[in-house]
Chains A and B, each alone.
Chain A
Amino acid sequence: MSLYSMLLFLPVFLFTPWLETTRPAGGPHWFHAAQIPLEISLRGTACIFVCASTIAVLDLTELNAGLAALPIPRTLHHLLIQIAHQTAMLADESQRISTAVRIRGLPLGRVSKLRFLPAVPTIWLLRIMNRAERIGAAMDMRGFESTTSASRANISPADAGAMTTAMLMLGASIILRGLDVL
């Protein structure tokens, strides 16, 4: 796992010093001016695409298992899982509200509809807030904020080596970048 994650992030660390952040002023044509924003948006879209694809193929259980296998503190693992898990829960709650609206129907008449529709976000927000409050109480009760350090996953020598190498490479690339600027 450590080796794979290092291989995955290696190109990013290696290319960091050579990433161009500034370019010479554009030529006379509009596409010269559009080149930089276009590049930024393409890269941004590519990142979003990669993230969305990862999320789409990853089951929450798999994400949980993957995070549990990583040598990160259990608290961080639980926090990341909670963010994903509770987001899914709130999405489920929204889905239930939308189903209820579909089943019960909207009020008849345009004026009634117009009066009703602005109330939907309020109802949604209240239900989401109530739900979040109840989950918060349950998390308090179950001791979510104080997971003990004894339950942390052990860091193997290979993991420690990979993390140290990654940190060193990140440090080296920042230094190289600084030298380039100077």
Chain B
Amino acid sequence: MKSALSFHDVSVRYRQEDPFVLHGISLDIAPGERVALLGLNGSGKTTLLYSAVGLVPYAGEISVGDVILSKTTERSIRDHVGFLFGIPDDQILFPNVLDDIAFTMERRGIPREEARQQALPIMKSLGIDNLAARSPHRLSHGQMQRVALAGALVSKPPLLLLDEPSAALDPVGKEETAGLLVSLNTAMLIATHDLAFARSVCNRFVVLANGTIADDRADPEAISRDWYQPEFRS
């Protein structure tokens, strides 16, 4: 079966003179597989997510489904990926919640009113249907997180790349979001520090340390705590 997302010997550095942030990463994510990406601050989790959609310069080969990432395929790949940025504020582009979520559908050619209608069910699932007319930037961090997540999920993409999806969510919000993610038949790569959230959503756990994959297993309890020692901080 073809992978939903595949990295083959991928290395990333932001500038030629800089050291590699990631080096020699090879990872395959099967369709429907939910992978937690763990690691200390600066271990390269966000960079790996960025590289999957060509937001950072990389060497090696990345493919999403059957399509190899390149300048020409970048746009169509991005249309098949739901992406949640680490700072949700950055990806909210419209002055009200409903328009922002509906934009994801609008840019796929769906007329505005229809796109708005299609946005409503996911807003309800994430408990933000009452915020439809509100300005996203006047919301709490947790509410903004849900708005950004709704924007990523609304098009039902086959692959989700989520950077700290549980950050700033209250305990109820975490539970609801975890339940929603598990209910989706979607491959996902979730960068997180929240081990409890990762356990409740994911069925595979990958640890990054010093820009390489240090551990990769299905049992979260077997992840060595050694990877969380200061010497592995980049």
Contact = CB atoms under 8 A, between A and B. Distances in A.
Interface of A: 60-61, 63-64, 68, 74, 81-82, 84-85, 88-89, 92, 131, 134-135, 137-144, 146-148, 150-151, 153
Interface in B139-161: 151
A143 B107 contact: yes
A61 B93 contact: no
B53 interface: yes
Contacts of A147: 106-107
Contacts of A85: 93-95
B95 A81 contact: yes
Nearest to A133: B90
B79 interface: yes
A81 B111 CA distance: 18
Contacts of B91: 135, 138, 141-142
B87 to A, nearest CB: 7
A60 B93 CA distance: 12
B107 A60 contact: no
A165 to B, nearest CB: 26
A153 B112 contact: yes
A64 B95 contact: yes
A148 B108 CA distance: 7
Given A135-B90, A142-B107, 16 more contacts: A61-B133, A61-B135, A74-B106, A74-B112, A85-B94, A88-B137, A137-B90, A138-B90, A141-B55, A143-B75, A143-B79, A144-B93, A146-B107, A148-B109, A150-B111, A151-B110
B94 A81 contact: yes
A148 B112 contact: no
Contacts of A82: 93
**Interface-central residue, A63, A134, A153, by most chain B CB under 10 Å:** A134
A137 B137 contact: no
